[in-house]
A and B are shown apart, each in its own frame.
Chain A
């Protein structure tokens, strides 16, 4: 079955960087769009970034544009989120999520990881 496992979370000072990883198994990784979605403590869900199935196209929320970079290594079945210039408001659980169907623009999330907590604190 599909499994997504995030790693790399932790406590970081404002302005510093952090990289999250998401290891995927149970499906043909390179055929699917992959996303990062975050949830601040006690708040709702916020879509952060997408790596489309073709591996070349990427999309970002305005709140992270220019600071975060999504990438993927299809040979390792791994998705990444490089987070630079971190701010207090980036504190959240970061979920890795898989698009609902292979190829195309099927941007609903049918599988989620358990989440990685990122805390930005001085």
Chain B
């Protein structure tokens, strides 16, 4: 099983600031890495698939990068609606696994 480690656990930032979230995998997943956003009481929402492809309707301020074992989700300028928990997931092999999440909170 591939283990995904997200850091930091919590990120405290002000609106307009840049957010940089990390996801590291225990073995290479090539570029098969996905990012989701989840707000309280809601289902997750797909942001990025295969490391850097924005999903339909996702604003350009969200971007993903990385390959192999190190990946980054960047939010260029935080909007009020971006405060949420972010999860990474790999699709390289079975079983599929998720990271533990990074909470982006208002500073």
**Which A residues lie at the B interface, using CB under 8 A?**
35, 37, 44-47, 50, 59-62, 95, 100, 105-110, 112-115
Contact = CB atoms under 8 A, between A and B. Distances in A.
A61 B95 contact: yes
Given A45-B44, A47-B95, A108 B100 contact: no
Contacts of B95: 47, 59-62
Interface of B: 1, 34, 36, 38, 43-46, 49-50, 55-56, 87, 89, 91, 94-101
Determine the main DSSP class of B at the interface with A.
Answer: loop
Contacts of A37: 44
Given A45-B36, A108-B89, 12 more contacts: A47-B89, A47-B95, A59-B94, A62-B1, A95-B44, A106-B91, A108-B34, A109-B34, A110-B46, A112-B44, A112-B45, A115-B43
19 contacts: A35-B96, A45-B87, A45-B101, A47-B89, A47-B95, A59-B95, A62-B1, A62-B95, A95-B44, A100-B49, A107-B96, A108-B91, A109-B44, A109-B46, A109-B89, A110-B46, A110-B56, A112-B45, A113-B43
Given A95-B43, A105-B91, A44 B99 contact: yes
Contacts of B101: 44-45
B93 to A, nearest CB: 10
Contact of A100 (B46, B94, B97, B99): B46
B44 to A, nearest CB: 6
B96 A45 contact: no
B43 A45 contact: no
Nearest to B46: A110
A106 B45 CA distance: 16
B35 to A, nearest CB: 9
A60 B95 CA distance: 7
Nearest to A63: B95
